Amino acid sequence: MAPRIIILGRQGAGKGTQCARLVAEHGIVHVSTGDMLRAAVAAGTELGKQAEAIMSSGGLVSDEIMNGIVAERLAESDISENGVLLDGFPRTTVQAETLEQIFADQGVELTAVINIDVPLEEVTERMMARGRDDDTKEAIEERLRNYEAQTAPLLDFYAERNKLVVIDGLGNEDTVFARVQGALAL
């Protein structure tokens, strides 16, 4: 069956880099909810208008909106054919439960959840060094706080379901990718 993988990790853990490599290597479809929202903001859609202020403050867009966007995307045939790498979703327990229901309705299984583990102090330094427009100190801190409060509980959620693989995210991108590949064995 086509793989269905979730990638978790704090902002600045290197998820983007590892996703690009996984997609190149395995031909799975990358679904980044952050990219989808940024595209909506750039296009000036209704969704984009609603999401813009929330995103720049480091907050989370509502579960209802996110679940709707992802359910629609997961129904497309490129994903049933090639599998999916979910990046940035789920971010809350409500989203994880919704995703579980979507997969159950589709009769498919979650393959694995990869957590790229980089300590809080290290990601904070990386984020400050990156200097992206939406990376104000306040927004970075708010995103990291949200991650600990809302997304870190998903580690237990998936560990209980025997789906969680924790990858040491310290080291260069080749080293980390070798660990990811070793853990996935696709």
> What is the edge-to-edge ordering of all strands in the sheet holding 84-87?
29-32, 84-87, 4-8, 112-117, 164-168
Identified binder of ligand AMP from the candidate list 143, 147, 164, 177, rule CB under 6 A: 143
| Closest distance to ligand AMP from the beta carbon of 41 (Å) | 9
Span of 55-63, 74-82, 116-124, 152-160 interacting with ligand AMP by CB under 6 A: 55-63
Identified binder of ligand AMP from the candidate list 3, 9, 10, 11, rule CB under 6 A: 11
| Closest distance to ligand AMP from the beta carbon of 57 (Å) | 8
Run of H or E including 5: strand 4-8
Is 55 an interacting residue with respect to ligand AMP (CB under 6 A)?
A: yes
Span of 33-41, 71-79, 118-126, 162-170 interacting with ligand AMP by CB under 6 A: 33-41
Cα-based angle 54, 159, 123 (whole degrees, multiple of 5): 45
Which value, in Å, is the radius of gyration of the alpha carbons in the chain?
Answer: 16
Supply 6's token pair.
């979730």
* Residue 42 or 178 having the CB closest to ligand AMP: 42
C-alpha 150: how far from chain center: 13
Residues 6+ apart with CB under 8 A from 38: 55
CA 93 to CA 87: how far, in whole Å? 15
Q: Which of 49, 130, 145, 161 is catalytic?
A: 130
* Residue 111 or 151 having the CB closest to ligand AMP: 151
List the catalytic residues: 15, 91, 130, 132, 143
